[in-house]
């Protein structure tokens, strides 16, 4: 327990690349401080663009040195001209000392049970000794079950979970499957799993700046998340519009901040030759573009999927299957429940396939027609799960909305 009289939650997000982990952790942090007036949340993140996002009062962040994963599967330092070993030592030291000084009542680890290359294990042990509650938060889908089992065996994850974690939260509903069904866990650990449901997203109150693109005419919104692996999807869509195929709406493409600059320049040149395509690199209020879209074309990462459900948008999902099958598994599960339409690029990337999918998209049912009532109650469920822990730390005062 910290000595301030106010409860504290520390969230770890390794964020070697992309936006998914950071956006999920930020959403949870904002929800928790809305629920509890005396709560402060600190996010530890390796995201190089965490400063591009706005944070609410009583939510702050500490950025650790960034690393990126190479195509070979190895990691390297993102910006510092030092070797990976030194970068990881810096990260581990910052995480450990931040946790020691912040003295949280809850330590929430996002997706990586041991952290990047084991960097949070010592912190988990220290937090346990200090009476902190360690919680592992997992996506609805992690990877292909066999691949996940092999990865966790290699990293010694099961031992760490059994030894240090008090609870496991799955940020999805049980009907979308068990993300760790392939892992051999003790019954006592299985009993700690709680399905929260998806994390409902809200529209920002307003834009701080002007709209990044004209939204006056109906459009499909195309987003590849962080964009680092979205080049093929954008190329496929541009080729389809360039082919002259009949498509009902124009497209607004959001590349993502991690799409290579040279590819963005190439795509911009192609888009300028079309009067039905607008492009932007990044929008930290992309929810507003989603809300106005006639349909969403996306790769189907976790956060985008939450937004599709939250704003009840017809969606065409074009999932990647490498290096992880997470998006493919999620897309197929969601299609089986009647929530989205799927176009698998592994089955070919012909323009006629894309054109037909875009033509059929406006005629599909909205997700709400087939959603279960509790599918989007994740934030409320998390607030309820964490309340008993926070009550032991301080006298939590609920906001007026929760009384």
Q: Is the peptide bond before 292 cis (omega within 30 degrees of 0)?
A: no
pLDDT at 401: 40
pTM over 0.85: yes
CA gap 286, 159 in Å, rounded: 39
pLDDT at 71: 53
Q: Which token pair is 372?
A: 């279960």
Instruction: State pLDDT tens for residues 191-217.
Output: 999 999 999 999 887 665 657 788 889
**Residue 193, helix vs strand vs coil:** strand
Confidence band, pLDDT 50/70/90 cuts, at residue 18: low
Confidence band, pLDDT 50/70/90 cuts, at residue 392: confident
Higher pLDDT, 210 or 1: 210
Mean per-residue pLDDT over the chain, rounded: 91
Confidence band, pLDDT 50/70/90 cuts, at residue 397: very low
pLDDT at 115: 95
For the chain, give every domain's residue range: 7-200+377-402, 219-369
> Is pLDDT of 271 > 60?
yes
pLDDT at 15: 73
Instruction: State pLDDT tens for residues 356-369.
Output: 999 999 999 999 99
pLDDT at 396: 45
pLDDT at 82: 77
CA angle, residues 324, 325, 331, in degrees to nearest 5: 140
pLDDT at 399: 47
Helix axes 20-35, 302-310, angle to 10 degrees: 50
- For residue 100, give Cα distances in angstroms to 44, 89, 94, 97, 107: 13, 16, 10, 5, 11
Phi, psi of 45 (to 5 degrees): -140, 150
Instruction: State pLDDT tens for residues 132-191.
Output: 999 999 999 999 999 999 999 999 999 999 999 999 999 999 999 999 999 999 999 999
What is the fold, at CATH topology level, of the domain defined by 219-369? Rossmann fold (3.40.50)
Instruction: State pLDDT tens for residues 326-354.
Output: 999 999 999 999 999 999 999 999 999 99
> What's the CATH number for 7-200+377-402?
3.40.50.2000
Strands 133-139 and 106-110: parallel
Residue 120: HSE in the Cβ half-sphere, 13 Å Cα cutoff? 31
pLDDT at 226: 87
């Amino acid at each position: 327990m910290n000595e301030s009289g106010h409860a504290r939650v520390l969230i770890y997000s390794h964020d070697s690349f992309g936006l998914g982990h950071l956006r999920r952790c930020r959403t949870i942090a904002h929800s928790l401080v809305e629920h509890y007036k005396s709560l402060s949340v600190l996010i530890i993140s390796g995201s190089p663009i965490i400063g591009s996002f706005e944070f609410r009062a009583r939510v702050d962040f500490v950025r650790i040195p960034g690393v990126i994963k190479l195509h070979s599967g190895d990691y390297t330092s993102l910006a510092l001209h030092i070797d990976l070993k030194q970068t990881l030592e810096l990260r581990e030291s910052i995480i450990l000392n931040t946790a020691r000084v912040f003295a949280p009542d809850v330590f929430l680890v996002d997706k990586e049970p041991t952290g990047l290359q084991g960097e949070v294990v010592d912190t988990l042990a220290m937090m346990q000794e200090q009476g902190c509650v360690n919680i592992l938060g997992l996506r609805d889908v992690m990877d292909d079950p066999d691949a996940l089992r092999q990865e966790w065996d290699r990293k010694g994850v099961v031992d760490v979970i059994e030894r240090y974690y008090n609870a496991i939260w799955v940020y999805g509903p049980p009907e979308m499957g068990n993300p760790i069904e392939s892992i051999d866990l003790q019954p006592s650990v299985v009993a700690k799993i709680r399905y929260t449901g998806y994390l409902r997203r809200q529209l920002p109150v307003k834009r701080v700046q002007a709209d990044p693109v004209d939204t006056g005419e109906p459009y499909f919104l195309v987003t590849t998340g962080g964009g680092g692996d979205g080049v093929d999807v954008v190329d496929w869509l541009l080729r389809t519009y360039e082919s002259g195929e009949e498509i009902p709406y124009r497209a607004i493409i959001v590349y993502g901040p991690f799409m290579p600059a040279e590819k963005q320049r190439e795509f911009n040149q192609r888009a300028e030759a079309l009067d039905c395509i607008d492009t932007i690199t990044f929008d930290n209020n992309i929810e507003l573009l989603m809300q106005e879209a006639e349909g969403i074309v996306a790769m189907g990462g976790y956060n985008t999927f939450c937004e599709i459900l939250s704003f009840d948008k017809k969606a065409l999902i074009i999932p990647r299957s490498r290096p992880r099958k997470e998006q493919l598994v999620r897309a197929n599960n969601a299609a089986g429940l009647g929530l989205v339409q799927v176009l698998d690029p592994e089955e070919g990337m012909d323009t006629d396939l894309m054109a037909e999918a875009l033509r059929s998209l406006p005629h599909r049912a909205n997700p709400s027609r087939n959603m279960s009532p509790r599918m989007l109650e994740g934030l409320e469920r998390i607030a309820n799960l964490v309340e008993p822990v926070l009550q032991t730390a301080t006298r939590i005062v609920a906001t007026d909305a929760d009384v």
